[in-house]
Chains A and B, each alone.
Chain A
């Protein structure tokens, strides 16, 4: 069975601060990893995804994530956050037919 663990439930940052959200997974097969974002009152949107190849993945809105196989990690990063990045962030691992989500990290960026 696959599982995902997100380290922080809430993160509070000031604008222009750097962001790193932790994500660890467990899965026995070929792993596909995702970060989704959910802005307040909105639907889930895909930020970025990793299937294979370059372990440093760049996504939308300046986000990136690094897949470190030895650490079973897929941390999300952004060099300088903006107030508009306030949202819930979900890490997810994709198996053959299902997507398993972590519990989410609520990011609050203060102006």
Chain B
């Protein structure tokens, strides 16, 4: 069982909707990540938060808005998405012993499967 919890597991939304994906970890990790994975493709990095501050934004469109309310939570706010944004969105965390990021070892959640109609 993964120690990174993502909700919801499935989400269907229209192009005018506003929704949010949520991620939670209680491993004391100080870095959290959003990845996007299309079918039969590798995960692609979207955002990295380190000590609750956005440290990497991989040129993601503004219709995706990340938020890190505290060290355990990571949200991804969705607005005005397009059908091509349909994918599996993976949250991950890393970083132990007080370091913001660890040695590249990420712990993944099960993902939120998003369908945009």
Contacts and interface: CB of A to CB of B under 8 A. Distances in A.
B108 interface: yes
24 contacts: A32-B103, A32-B105, A43-B90, A43-B108, A43-B109, A44-B108, A46-B105, A88-B40, A93-B104, A94-B104, A94-B106, A95-B104, A96-B104, A97-B50, A97-B56, A97-B101, A98-B33, A98-B48, A98-B56, A99-B105, A102-B42, A103-B41, A104-B41, A106-B40
Interface of B: 2, 31, 33, 40-43, 45, 48, 50, 55-56, 90, 92, 100-101, 103-106, 108-111
Contacts of A97: 31, 48, 50, 55-56, 100-101
Provide the main secondary structure of the chain B interface.
loop
Interface of A: 32, 34, 42-46, 49, 51, 88, 90, 92-104, 106
Contacts of B41: 103-104
Contacts of A44: 43, 90, 108
Nearest to B106: A99
Given A49-B105, A99-B105, A104-B40, 8 more contacts: A32-B104, A46-B105, A51-B103, A90-B42, A97-B48, A97-B101, A98-B56, A99-B45
The 7 closest A-B pairs by CB, nearest first: A94-B104, A101-B42, A43-B110, A32-B104, A97-B101, A44-B108, A32-B103
A104 B104 CA distance: 18
Q: Which of B48, B104, B105, B110 has the most CB of A within 10 A?
A: B104
